Amino acid sequence: MGAAENKELVRGMFGNVAGEPNKFLDALADDISYTIIGTTKFSGTFKGKEEVVNRLLGPLMASLENGLAITIDNLIADGDYVAMQARGQGVSKSGAAYNNTYCHVFRIVGGKVRQITEYLDTELVTRAFGK
């Protein structure tokens, strides 16, 4: 796949994350490596789709009232890599606003996302969800 196709793959992953979570999951390789920077309760490197779901996405979604709406602001692609600038809007179960900004870097191989590194406001994560 070329840069344009890789950008469209990423765009499709975030079309309706709350309503169609399978689009996000279907784009991930089984051996995905997903890293969230920082020292928050959701930070770390998660290996494999099962670990991403069970240790990251499941707990994160359980901490939010109605999921997380992602708006893509910019996609930049070069070869196997796509960088995405985005904004998310949500509310934690405790009622705290969770409106974060993100930069994700995706590595796509053979039509599947093999690596994700997520950069975000880690202080906001801690304020919204605790340590």
Q: Which amino acid is at 39?
A: T
CA distances from 66 to 45, 53, 114, 121 (A): 25, 17, 28, 20
Q: Where are the beta strands (DSSP E) in 1-131?
A: 28-36, 44-47, 69-78, 81-91, 97-109, 112-120
Tell me, what DSSP letter sits at residue 9? H
pLDDT of residue 20: 63
- Average pLDDT, whole number, for the chain? 93
pLDDT tens figures, 29-77: 999 999 999 999 999 999 999 999 999 999 999 999 988 899 999 999 9
Q: Are 27 and 114 in contact (CB under 8 A)?
A: no
Q: Which two tokens stand for residue 103?
A: 């930069």
Classified by CATH at the fold level, domain 3-129 comes out as Nuclear Transport Factor 2; Chain: A, (3.10.450)
pLDDT category of residue 86 using cuts at 50, 70 and 90: very high
